[in-house]
Chains A and B, each alone.
Chain A
Amino acid sequence: MSEIKNYVLEITGKCGKCPSHLMDILIAVQNKFRHIPDEAIECISKELQMSKVDVEQTASFYHFFTEEPCGKYTVYLNNSAVACMMGRDKIAATFEKEVGCKFGNVTSDGLIGLYDTACIGMNDQEPAALINGVVFTSLNDQKVKQIVSAIKAGKAVNDLVTEFDGKENAEMKSEVKNNIRKRGPVLFAEYKNGASLKKLNEMTPDQVITEVKNSNIRGRGGAGFPTGLKWDFCSKAEVKERYVLCNADEGEPGTFKDRVLLTLFPQMVFEGMVLGGYAIGSQQGVLYLRAEYTYMLPRLEKLLAEMRTKNLLGKNVAGKQGFDFDIRIQMGSGAYVCGEETALIESAEGKRGEPRNRPPYPIERGYKNKPTIINNVETLCSVVQIIDKSSAWYRTFGTQYSSGTKLLSISGDCKFPGIYEIEWGITINEVLEMCGAENAQAVQVAGPSGVCISPKQFGRKLDFEDMPTGGSIIIIGQQRDLLKDVVLNFMDFFTDESCGSCVPCRALTPVLKKKLVKIMDGKGVKGDIDELVKLGKTMKDLNRCGLGQTAANPILTTIENFREKYEAMIKEPKTDGVYAFDMAASVKESCDYAGRKVIIHN
């Protein structure tokens, strides 16, 4: 039997030949054989009793599954907007020179592959790359040279990391820094691990839900749905088998706060899931972790094992008779859309990450088609503090309608990129001062799917009434070309990350991008700007999920707030509909052939 077949039999056997574990199986195959060989797909399909195309459907969806071998060492260099601002192109050139092949390729000996990847959650320490799952940050030419020569000498990538920012990162053998700039009053409030779970002995599930409701906390993942309400609905579902999912996909370019929470307070995240499980009457939780954070996996697994021995997971959790709850971790494999809650569920079930149609909502039919709550990492951590300290305490922070605090991930052109826990209601001007950003040209609030605002609006507030945010704040300095460095980069991102199901998301996004490039190339006419607005607005009306609905936002919000930048690129004549097009020059060649003179009648 071939090695591939042997291996597939071993891992499919381990997971009970269950199609819902397809992601885990493919991840294992990719890691071992550095691609998903056709033979493996064939064998997996036999073992899981699926058709081969069905296995391929999942395998071909995710960025980190490759059809061809991607090198014994695979470098994924981030090419997000902030990475590029921080010098990604120069680093890429150095990689190419040292490695000896271009991006998108593997060296002829199959040793090293160079690839681009979307934001890896390291915007505060770019340029950064993933090499076989290990994160390398703040790259410079010197460092790249060292890494490449060590790899060529056959060293394990893990051993190349020698400096650690604190004991948590040392435990993960990771050079990622935490960059905590502001410790706020909620998430950084003192907390004794396990304390929230002890409360379960004094509280009924309904009391937990009431407390969460009273805190007025709304989801921290971006959509801002009231958490207590979500839990309440789910707890009243007819079906008793229920699930708690934690969204640790953190894919919105520019956010990295969940990375820091999972590094500093992983137990709080898990405890939040347990609380959710108790509240809704669930026995099983799943933490969906993005592939970029694979370096955290061993430490998280170890923690889960410890929690089991301390009876914080398992049977009669924390001494609460009759409450059994456990957690497993599901790895992703590179797809922004899998942060969307229903796509995440599909992915956790081993399928392509295509958002579901709603209704039914996950609270009715979610994971395994059972009632499910799904919450962001930060939401769950906040709930732990709420249960530990009370909703009244929580409500003392923030504003009347936006209670509590928010972790901001600040990056781009500022002196102090990193994590800030702020109270809702802070203005952009205050944010800029806090992070040492002077003379900003623009601020991208809430990532590419959010808004790009101009200095005129820096007095606006971050809260649910004015500008909500999942936490991504990107500062864009005067030296940047807003359209090229930011808007175009974001449009590329959405084009690549669309699941492809909805026609407008799949087909209109590239059209919008093309039109933008046309304008940037000086070939636009005045009507193109309004055309972009008109077409872009249909995206919100027509697409199924938040990705497609917001994919035109980079263009729409910059036209709204920086229209002059677009207009400056339109060449004369600037009147509507008149093309800056030289008819005589365009037909000259054919006229020459035909032996005719060029006569243009205007």
Chain B
Amino acid sequence: MSDNKIKFTIDGKECIADEGLDLWKAAMLNGVFIPYLCHMKDVVPAGSCRICTVKVNGRPMAACTTLVTKGLEGAVVENDTPHIEEMRKMIVELLFVEGNHFCPACEKSGSCELQAMAYRYQMMVPQFSYNFPLREVDATTPKIYLDRNRCIQCKKCIRSIKDDQGRSYFAFYKRGHKLDIHIDHELAATMSAELAQLAMDGCPVGAIINKEKGFDVPIGKRKFDKEPIGTEFLNVTKE
């Protein structure tokens, strides 16, 4: 990473970050939480959920795909404003009505980032009517149970789960409102247990569930049982 430090503010808070970082990470290192759903560590950002949208000098940008550059020096970044938070809540609601999310029956409940976001935004009933789409479950591969009802198309599995030749286990199918996630049956037939676990852990929701064992995290120890999403970032010490 470069030695250049860039200074800017987020909601008035003075921030300093290395040039070249993405704004989402830069914010985190400064103890500012920017909500996210599709961003993941060490993987090229997808910029697809759009929930990390902030305003940089008044211009809306996805924080995860915005780089800390010289252009950001002195910038005024807005993150926690009523307008932006309202748009983020809308995104959460859109995801809820777009798929079929029945939290009580889902193994990821309590560790699900979408659910955690819904709590964060105190979503009671989404402002939109439910689509109740018909989505097929693919339970035909040995290690993974792919429940498309819960998929939020964040692309995390597509981007991160590859075999040793770089081939994808997961891919999109179709486009627009017909978009779906597919798993490669041939590759998945020999998928290692570790990789399957990685896929399940990476999935922000409960769309990728490992077979042969289930509900092994007891209530009380789930990711968001103790603290709401984002808390872990608030007291990060600067690197």
A residues contacting B by CB (< 8 A) are 49-54, 56-57, 60-61, 335, 352, 357-359, 495-504, 506-511, 514, 535, 538, 540-544
Q: A506 CA to B49 CA in the complex, in Å?
A: 10
Q: A535 CA to B93 CA in the complex, in Å?
A: 12
Please determine whether A502 and B48 come into contact, CB atoms closer than 8 angstroms.
Answer: yes
Please determine whether A53 and B179 come into contact, CB atoms closer than 8 angstroms.
Answer: no
Taking the closest CB of chain A, its distance from the CB of B161, in whole angstroms, is 11
Q: A50 CA to B94 CA in the complex, in Å?
A: 33
Instruction: Annotate B106-146 by CB proximity to A: 1 below 8 A, 0 otherwise.
Output: 00000000000000000000001100000000000000000
Q: A56-B173, A503-B49 are in contact. List 4 more A-B contacts (CB 8 A).
A: A359-B67, A497-B176, A500-B177, A535-B90
Please determine whether B176 and A498 come into contact, CB atoms closer than 8 angstroms.
Answer: yes
Q: What 6 A-B pairs come out closest when comparing CB atoms?
A: A500-B179, A53-B171, A57-B171, A498-B176, A541-B60, A357-B65
Query: Quick check: is B195 within 8 A (CB to CB) of the other chain?
Result: no
Chain A, interface SS category: helix
* Beta-carbon contacts under 8 Å, B149-173 to A: 152-153, 155, 163, 165, 167-173
Chain B residue contacts of A498, Cβ below 8 A: 175-177
**A-B CB contacts (within 8 Å), total count:** 125
Please determine whether A495 and B177 come into contact, CB atoms closer than 8 angstroms.
Answer: yes
Please determine whether A496 and B187 come into contact, CB atoms closer than 8 angstroms.
Answer: no
Query: Quick check: is B182 within 8 A (CB to CB) of the other chain?
Result: yes
Chain A residue contacts of B172, Cβ below 8 A: 57, 60-61, 352, 500
Please determine whether A61 and B175 come into contact, CB atoms closer than 8 angstroms.
Answer: yes
Query: Quick check: is B10 within 8 A (CB to CB) of the other chain?
Result: no
Query: Quick check: is B76 within 8 A (CB to CB) of the other chain?
Result: no
Residues of B within 8 A of A (CB-CB), count: 45
Please determine whether A335 and B176 come into contact, CB atoms closer than 8 angstroms.
Answer: no
Query: Quick check: is B212 within 8 A (CB to CB) of the other chain?
Result: no
Could you say which of A357, A503, A540 has the most chain B C-beta atoms within 10 Å of its C-beta?
A503
Please determine whether B60 and A542 come into contact, CB atoms closer than 8 angstroms.
Answer: yes
Please determine whether A506 and B179 come into contact, CB atoms closer than 8 angstroms.
Answer: yes
CB-contact partner of A57 in B45, B67, B94, B173, under 8 A? B173
Taking the closest CB of chain A, its distance from the CB of B57, in whole angstroms, is 14
Taking the closest CB of chain B, its distance from the CB of A361, in whole angstroms, is 12
Q: A359 CA to B64 CA in the complex, in Å?
A: 11
Please determine whether A544 and B94 come into contact, CB atoms closer than 8 angstroms.
Answer: no
Please determine whether A60 and B174 come into contact, CB atoms closer than 8 angstroms.
Answer: yes
Tell me whether A507 and B182 are in contact in the complex, defined as CB-CB below 8 angstroms, given that A56-B171, A502-B48, A541-B87 are known contacts: no
Please determine whether B176 and A495 come into contact, CB atoms closer than 8 angstroms.
Answer: yes
Closest to A50 in B: B167
Q: A543 CA to B45 CA in the complex, in Å?
A: 15
Please determine whether B94 and A54 come into contact, CB atoms closer than 8 angstroms.
Answer: no
Chain A residue contacts of B176, Cβ below 8 A: 495-500, 506
Query: Quick check: is B186 within 8 A (CB to CB) of the other chain?
Result: yes
CB-contact partner of A54 in B90, B153, B168, under 8 A? B168
Chain B residue contacts of A52, Cβ below 8 A: 184-186
* Beta-carbon contacts under 8 Å, B200-224 to A: none
Please determine whether A49 and B167 come into contact, CB atoms closer than 8 angstroms.
Answer: yes
Query: Quick check: is B26 within 8 A (CB to CB) of the other chain?
Result: no
Please determine whether A499 and B53 come into contact, CB atoms closer than 8 angstroms.
Answer: no
Taking the closest CB of chain B, its distance from the CB of A337, in whole angstroms, is 8
Closest to A535 in B: B90
Query: Quick check: is B25 within 8 A (CB to CB) of the other chain?
Result: no
Q: A543 CA to B87 CA in the complex, in Å?
A: 12
Closest to A518 in B: B129
Tell me whether A335 and B175 are in contact in the complex, defined as CB-CB below 8 angstroms, given that A52-B186, A500-B153, A504-B94 are known contacts: yes
